[in-house]
């Protein structure tokens, strides 16, 4: 039987600590203790009132012994539900949940690799540049922890966010700009069986609006979706109110603006056709991420992949991450694949070899950063 490696044991410890969004304190305390023991300077920011979490974002720094590139590694502490009482099981080199929960590899694989990297760098006699670790809260519900970060807490020469699916070596070089909306349709109530002609159905307005929209995958870079529709009170009442939520996102900044305008126009047309009204609120969830082909941070990671014999691959994603937020603060950022698969499902799994390889990659990046 293969002995349990240190990084695997760290991951198993983390997986067993419940950390739904907003209740990350247990993980925060574990990570803080581990990084402090490795020689890091630890602090938490004061963002709980903004994020609603029971802890702040964790900021840790390991002082360098030589000059070089200041690399920040980032991961998040929270997991999607169901994530209470996770019991990880290792079988044939693969970690899975034993019950009806997610495993929590998203993003405890990244957190475990951060801890292992800090330990290995601290234990090594090799010179190293300064390191920073930014471990956020409440990522799974709108990147809330990262959005609350101050520019100084996020600052670094490069930030590598350990939060992409797929085998180690994958590098996200593009992620979309993402808009969300909430539309409140207002009609007029009436008895549906006695005098329906006196009513104006807000649900009918919403349906007309949605029918005017192009939804799904609009092109290789762009998607649009209706997420929820809610309204009405009884079958015999013409619904006076209805709420609809939705989104659009695209890797093309100009394209997402056009789609947003088209969806907005459809919402207003749907209301006007029936003589009702609609109040539409749009929010920019996050700006897109786009990395130049010759970006220094990209070459740094690809060089480190080559150093440990891993084939690197660049890819674009339709999802956002903390990297979108940190990049918008002016920090060159990438998202790295962390070996996760089937994330956000109870079938989630993580290969032990991938977890160990991720740690190897981060150590190789640190070595390159020292020059």
Catalytic residue positions, numbered: 78, 139
CB 239 within 8 A of CB 201: yes
Nearest to 259, CA basis, from 271, 270, 248: 248
Calculated CA dihedral for residues 289, 296, 114, 2, nearest 10 degrees: 110
Helix, coil or strand: residue 133: strand
The neighbouring-strand residues paired with 230 are: 243
Neighbouring residues of 1: CB distance < 8 A, sequence distance ≥ 6: none
Other C-beta atoms lying within 10 Å of the C-beta of residue 257: 14
CA distance 83 to 170: 26
H helix runs in the chain, sequence order: 6-15, 25-37, 48-51, 105-123, 144-148, 151-154, 202-211, 253-274, 296-307, 322-328, 352-369
């Amino acid at each position: 039987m293969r002995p349990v490696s240190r990084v695997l044991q760290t991951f198993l410890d983390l997986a067993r600590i419940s950390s739904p969004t907003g209740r990350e304190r247990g993980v925060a305390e574990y990570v803080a203790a581990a990084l402090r023991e490795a020689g890091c300077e630890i602090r938490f920011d004061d963002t709980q009132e903004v994020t609603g979490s029971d802890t702040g974002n964790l900021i840790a720094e390991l002082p360098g012994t030589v000059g070089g590139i200041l690399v920040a590694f980032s991961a998040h502490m929270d997991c999607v539900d169901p994530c209470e009482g996770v019991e990880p099981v290792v079988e044939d080199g693969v970690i899975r949940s034993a019950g009806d929960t997610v495993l929590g590899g998203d993003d405890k694989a990244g957190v475990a690799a951060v801890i292992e990297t800090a330990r290995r760098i601290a234990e090594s006699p090799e010179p190293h540049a300064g390191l920073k670790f930014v471990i956020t809260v409440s990522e799974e519900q709108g990147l809330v922890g990262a959005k609350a970060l101050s520019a100084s807490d996020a600052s670094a020469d490069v930030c590598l966010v350990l939060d992409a699916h797929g085998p180690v070596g994958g590098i996200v070089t593009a992620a979309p700009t993402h808009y969300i909306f909430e539309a409140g349709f207002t009609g007029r109530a009436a008895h549906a069986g006695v005098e329906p002609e006196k009513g104006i159905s807000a649900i009918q307005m919403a349906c007309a609006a949605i029918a005017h929209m192009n939804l799904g995958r609009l092109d290789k870079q762009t998607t649009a979706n209706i997420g929820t529709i809610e309204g009405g009170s009884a079958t015999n009442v013409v619904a006076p109110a209805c709420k609809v939520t939705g989104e659009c996102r695209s890797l093309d900044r100009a394209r997402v603006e056009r789609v947003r305008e088209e969806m907005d126009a459809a919402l207003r047309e749907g209301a006007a056709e029936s003589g009702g009204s609609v109040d539409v609120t749009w929010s920019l969830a996050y700006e897109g991420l786009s990395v130049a082909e010759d970006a220094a941070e990209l070459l740094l990671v690809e060089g480190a992949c080559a150093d440990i014999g891993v084939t690197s691959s660049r890819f674009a994603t339709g999802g956002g991450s903390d990297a979108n937020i940190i990049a918008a603060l002016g920090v060159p950022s990438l998202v790295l694949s962390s070996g996760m698969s089937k994330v956000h499902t109870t079938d989630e799994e993580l290969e032990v070899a991938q977890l160990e390889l991720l740690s190897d990659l981060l150590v190789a990046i640190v070595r390159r950063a020292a020059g």
